[in-house]
Chain A
Amino acid sequence: MNTLPSLIFERSRDGKIGCGLNDANVPAEAALDRELLRPPIADFPQVSEVEVVRHYMALARLNYSVDAGFYPLGSCTMKYNPKVNEKIATLEELQAHPYAPHDLVQGNLEIITRLEEWLVELTGMAGFTLAPAAGAHGEFAGMLIIRRCLQERGDPRKIVLIPDSAHGTNPASAHFAGYEARQIPSNARGILGRKELRAHLGPDVAALMMTNPNTLGIFESDIAAIAEDLHANGSLLYMDGANFNALMGVVRPGELGVDVMHLNLHKTFSTPHGGGGPGSGPVGVAAPLLPYLPVPRVLREGERLKVVYDDPRSIGRVKNFYGHFLVMVRALAYLMALGREHVARVAEDAVLNANYLRKRLEGLLELPYQAPTLHEVVFSDQGLPVKTLDIAKRLLDYGCHPFTVYFPLIVHGAMMIEPTETESKETLDEFVGVMETILGEARDNPDLLRQAPTRTPVRRLDETLAARRPLLRWRRGEDH
């Protein structure tokens, strides 16, 4: 009955070899004090190559993925990851050592520079750093930039305002940059209004962190006025661009008064999520903030590209080397494939798909905010005989990945649906059909949903047991 593969440690047998390397052929002996050396690691896997392949193929079969089907996980932009980008990212000539002399890696520096230039044109920001490793890392770098700028003006201030619909990373990032995160409510339209902002503005406010479009999928339409109010108060506007897929090629945030923003290459720019990473979180800034960007900076100098490592006004280094270079390669390949003709079409189709789903599901589910939405839509489980989690788990039985559940927190039993532009109308129609079936089951036989999933490799897992008696590694003879 156990359909799951054994652990690699359980497959291990003394004497099996998977490694195809020879011993060293140099005439030398160890040049180390003997007591520094380690004996063979007990219980470390000993498996043949073929068994390793079978092991991971068995694991692969247990995963759902974008390549397998619809993945409408709100705020995560689970679009298709073009396969040619994988080929390009593995080109032998791109795999240079990060400390190779600059004259030997002009192509790689060109890739970094070109991607920065694309992002500048798409966002209207004055310049970008590609160093941050992920969205949250970009937020942190952005907050440091804001702090450094305000410090130079004489007072770093104390507070960063964050709307109640924000991702948890926003307050955490502000905190690690030395700020106190203060939550402010969004209004009945589901956005942050000028009135709510003004009620919280004061001499201690360093910045506002605003996700736009926000996590309800609604465009923060007061953004330009809000930027004016912030600037008049000596504060800066940070835009979390996690949802930039709705705006790419359609509007440039840099021209709406945004001072600092980050993008997620693993969302809008199609680089694969890899089961949770690696990501890449470029940060763009308005012209007055350029000096604070993290080092190293790649700069054009005539025909050549040079790298600047030291800059006294920079916030410093946030990451080893240049950042996630091979993620940048994939993002640039994606943009070059789209070209100027199709960047806006991506946003348009993403928004069209989301609004089509909104219209088709409106009669079935409670829509707590009526304002127009862009790339995603958030429904509530209010009035249903089952909970959001039950619907999500039942979707798994129908071979579909669920939407984001219970986020944003301001919606009761939130179901956040983001189809992205890479889904066909047929897929959307099938999804609506499945939702109709599930909601029918919810009325007629709600227990079916509460017991779901039943067709997956495992059923609902005991998260309480996992947290009460943590087993975070395998040890011989150890189990719950």
Chain B
Amino acid sequence: MRYLPLTGAEREEMKKVIGISDVSELFSCLPTGECRRAPDRLPPALSEPDLIAAFREIARKNTASGLLSFLGAGAYDHFIPEVVSYLSAKGEFLTPYTPYQPEVSQGSLQAIFEYQTMMAMLTGLDVANASLYDGATAAAEAVLLAVRRSGRRRVLLSSSLHPEYAAVVRTYAQNLDIELPTVAVDVASGRVDSSDLRAKLDDSAAAFVFQSPNFLGIVEDGRALGAIVHERKAYSAQVVAEAMALPFLVPPGENGIDIAVGEAQSFGLPLGFGGPYLGFMAAREEFMRQLPGRLVGQTRDLDGRRGYVLTLSTREQHIKREKATSNICSNQAWCALRAGMYLAVMGQAGLARAARSCHLNAAYFAKEAAGLPGVRVVYPRNFFNEVLLEVRRGSAADLARALQEKGILAGVPLSWFDPGKEDRLLLAFSETHNRAAVDRLLAAIGDAS
């Protein structure tokens, strides 16, 4: 077998050194009987070409590629510069473990330090951690962080938080005696209903967690929300499911928000059917020693040279065990490395250009779709790159199916998450689209509705 280098003769030699005649003797501490049955229901080994062929065969059952897609809702199709794929595939980045031996891991450590810096710049906050699993678990960690820091056990969630994020937050909190009331959305603006927020934000609230751009695509008035929350001495946490909005919009930190968490898949990670993606967390300095997950810090070596190490480890499970800030150990290091590469090559100007294209493509669609008879653009302004459509006849899923026939994945029908919203279709636009693509979409919607 090509992954197993020992030869028969070597195995014999090694057995002799150990003092056994059969390898089974090394397993004599195991129970016997049916539990030891050979796994003979499994298929036989495949050669390398047969293995590739087998996966091509499976892949043929996927028929979504090649379609013109406007799917988003937490996973976004952005262009990935070739250097990101080329560099991140190098074994030096792909095959080390966590950098516990910093003398031979400066490459990974410096790359993560740069990533932390860029995420802090993008969010306008002081510090960012080395990564969390994904946007949803990052939102859950933000809830736990606010509870830990405040000593209060009530966290308000905006009802325009991504439904899967809200579900994960509830899973995480289910046994920790944390109350999670929701704050309503003002239907007219698509933004958080600030009077409902004021009403529910009492002295027992640890934090208010809201998403912006929210799940309806709308950019919240972060400054106003931050101010309301701070009046009550609670913390504000902004969830960002589409990180491409960060270089385009006033960042959380500049709006006075305390914690920013979310999903950075947009920074150089393929859609990959949902993972692995990249959860991020950034916060003001006062949270530094309460953050979950790994942190890379700068230091000096014995000769005074600049270097990097994993630091503030006392927060983590391997030291504090059950008192740790989180149980996270493995994180998304390689995804964070890719995001760092992506951000570096896109750079200040490229990132702004990509983000602006996302918005302009969405804006063009919203403007033109307003003239189509069968649909209504629910919020014609203040979105970033997602536009919510109301389908006047039939359901959004019907419209999506009709467009699928024409080779277009028109968007995510919100009935995926809420059966009561069957007339709503959420469309996402990115820099991978252009005028021709949006025109094709508009024409197809016009024909179908």
Contacts and interface: CB of A to CB of B under 8 A. Distances in A.
Interface stretch (B153-161, B179-187, B345-353): B345-353
Contacts of B313: 467
Contact of A352 (B23, B294, B298, B438): B23
Interface in B32-83: 34-46, 48, 51-52, 54-56, 58-65, 67, 69, 71, 73-75, 77, 79, 81, 83
Given A31-B382, A98-B271, A351 B27 contact: yes
Interface stretch (A46-54, A379-387, A441-449): A46-54
A45 interface: yes
Nearest to B294: A276
B107 to A, nearest CB: 4
Interface in A50-101: 52-53, 55-57, 59-68, 71, 73, 76, 78-82, 84, 86-88, 90-101
Contacts of A57: 87
Contact of B48 (A16, A44, A84, A320): A84
A433 interface: no
Most chain B beta-carbon neighbours within 10 Å: one of A44, A101, A137, A147 = A44
Contacts of B28: 372
Interface string A334-374: 01111111111110110111011001100000000001101
Question: Chain B contact residues (Cβ within 8 angstroms of A): what range?
Answer: 35 or more
Contact of B65 (A29, A95, A133, A461): A95
A65 B91 contact: yes
A231 to B, nearest CB: 16
Contact of A49 (B79, B83, B170, B219): B83
B103 A277 contact: no
Contacts of B113: 7, 472-474
Given A40-B348, A319-B134, A425 B6 contact: yes
B103 A461 contact: yes
A371 to B, nearest CB: 8
A133 B274 CA distance: 12
A308 interface: no
Interface stretch (A102-110, A193-201, A282-290): A102-110
Question: Chain A contact residues (Cβ within 8 angstroms of B): what range?
Answer: 35 or more
B69 A97 contact: yes
A466 B62 contact: no
Nearest to B411: A99
Interface in B356-371: 356-357, 359-364, 366-367
A349 to B, nearest CB: 6
Contact of A325 (B2, B165, B272, B353): B272
A37 B248 contact: yes
Interface string B108-134: 101111101110111000111011011
Given A78-B97, A323-B275, A340-B42, A424 B5 contact: yes
B152 to A, nearest CB: 18
Given A133-B137, A134-B133, A458-B305, A337 B46 contact: yes
7 contacts: A73-B97, A107-B59, A172-B322, A276-B330, A345-B1, A352-B6, A461-B103
